[in-house]
Amino acid sequence: MRILHVVTLVTPDGAYGGPTRVAVNLCSALREQGHDAVIAAGASGFDEPPAAVGGVPARLFPAKRVMPGFGYAATRAPALGPWIKEHAVKFDVVHVHLARDLVTLPVAAALRRVRIPFVVQTHGMIAPHSHPLAAPVDRVWTIGLLRSAAAVFYLNAAERRDLCAVGGTGLRLRPLRNGVALPTAADGGRHPGALPEVLFFARLHQRKRPEVFAEAALSLLRSGVRARFAVVGPAEGAEAGVDAVIAQARAEGFGDELIRREAAVAPDLAGERMAAASLYVLPAVREPFGMTVVEALMLGIPVIIGADAGLAEFVESHACGLVVDGSPRSFARAMSELLSDESRARAMGRRGRTAVEAEFSIAAVGRELEQIYARILERGVA
């Protein structure tokens, strides 16, 4: 099969996060299975857009945000539309990683007009929304596109409810797990005898709450905990709070080796950077499916997440980390608990890797997706 995946944005530092990583992982798995899978997307931050993303052939088009204050929803890639119009007929099926934005919505609308089979995967980005523009965008685009898709993929029950609330009944809803590739080795970046590192690795966005991580880290350093704490990710507006906490830490005599903020890491190097950590912490609220949480577990790293995260039940049922109430104090307690019991933390990491291999292997997800595409080509629907 010839398969096109469309995602909103590709950047050198992976700023768009999970949807782009999912698209790359799925295309990699499909290519391993012998299919011709390609990515099309907007791109920014490159001197010249690359011809491949994560080893997957890609057609990337200059993108920019056309309105301030609307985040990725205001991203546009004008040259992508004409390319889709000319080339979409060459693909058997198109997989749109759909959001309320000016890249993926117009692409899906164009596919509907020319009757190219398409599926959508929304990554928790299509939900009932209080923003005043959400309702008119949904009336003009979102609802009709959800109803026209040959399959609408959801991660969990909460996302299914949200999609039904936006699109109504009659959607061709199908569950689809996110998958991750197996690393060549776990624990590859950790050095015996070094201080354990606690890592935040995500966009520095308000919803991710990196300042909560920084506040918890500083409280632990003040209490005498011996560990290093690192905040890594692209700046998305919440970096000022992190920097303020780090400045306070410096004023109290804690050096850069103990608490610091690092620049974002290119997606191809993300696994190597994460592997150096002993503990992964993501204080995000309402995180539908934390790809970085799964990637940390695949590396054998125990995790700490909030109770409202989509993976909370998975982490608790497999005892591969700790689930907390979301307050800075609860995160600090959980970090202290695992830092003080290395054998317990390592056992959690081993259980996490085993569980992720069993449930979120990208090869298994790719085979499932291959079967869904085949049914669509045979019957028109999944």
Listed ranges 23-37, 63-77, 187-201, 265-279; the one with the highest mean pLDDT? 23-37
Containing domain of residue 262, as a range? 197-359
Query: Could you tell me if 213 and 336 lie in one domain?
Result: yes
How much is the pLDDT for 188? 45
Query: Could you tell me if 203 and 158 lie in one domain?
Result: no
Query: Could you tell me if 306 and 211 lie in one domain?
Result: yes
Q: Which residue has the higher pLDDT, 131 or 201?
A: 201
Selection from 308, 252, 258, 264 nearest residue 282 by Cα: 308
Query: pLDDT per residue over 165-177, tens digit each?
Result: 999 988 999 999 8
Q: Tell me what the mean pLDDT of segment 75-104 comes to.
A: 95
Query: Could you tell me if 159 and 296 lie in one domain?
Result: no
Query: Could you tell me if 208 and 167 lie in one domain?
Result: no
Query: Could you tell me if 366 and 352 lie in one domain?
Result: no
Q: Which residue has the higher pLDDT, 380 or 272?
A: 272
How much is the pLDDT for 10? 94
Confidence of residue 69 (pLDDT cuts 50, 70, 90): low
Query: Could you tell me if 91 and 162 lie in one domain?
Result: yes
| Dihedral class, residue 372 (left if φ above 0, else alpha if ψ from -120 to 50, else beta) | alpha
How much is the pLDDT for 15? 82
- Picking from 8-22, 91-105, 111-125, which range would have the lowest pLDDT averaged per residue? 8-22
Query: Could you tell me if 201 and 257 lie in one domain?
Result: yes
Written in H, E and C, the secondary structure of the chain is CEEEEEEEEECCCCCCCHHHHHHHHHHHHHHHCCCEEEEEEEECCCCCCCCEECCEEEEEEECEECCCCCHHHHEECCCHHHHHHHHHHHCCEEEECCCCCECHHHHHHHHHHCCCCEEEECCCCCCCCCCCCHHHHHHHHHHHHHHHCCEEEECCHHHHHHHHHHHCCCCCEEECCCCECCCCCCCCCCCCCCCCEEEEECCECHHHCHHHHHHHHHHHHHCCCCCEEEEECCECCCHHHHHHHHHHHHHCCCCCCCEEEECCCCHHHHHHHHCCCCEEEECCCCCCCCHHHHHHHHCCCCEEEECCCCCHHHHHHCCCEEEECCCHHHHHHHHHHHHCCHHHHHHHHHHHHHHHHHHCEHHHHHHHHHHHHHHHHHHCCC
Residue 190 has pLDDT above 70, yes or no: no
How much is the pLDDT for 127? 87
- Report the CATH number at residue 202: 3.40.50.2000
Q: Tell me what the mean pLDDT of segment 361-366 comes to.
A: 88
Query: Could you tell me if 370 and 355 lie in one domain?
Result: no
Specify if 184 maps to a domain.
no
Query: pLDDT per residue over 196-253, tens digit each?
Result: 999 999 989 999 999 999 999 999 999 999 999 999 999 888 999 999 999 999 999 9
Specify if 113 maps to a domain.
yes
Query: Could you tell me if 301 and 315 lie in one domain?
Result: yes
The count of other CB atoms within 10 Å of the CB of residue 366 is 22
Confidence of residue 373 (pLDDT cuts 50, 70, 90): very high
Specify if 366 maps to a domain.
yes
Residue 187 has pLDDT above 80, yes or no: no
Q: Tell me what the mean pLDDT of segment 124-130 comes to.
A: 83
Query: pLDDT per residue over 11-53, tens digit each?
Result: 998 888 889 989 999 999 999 999 999 999 999 999 999 999 9
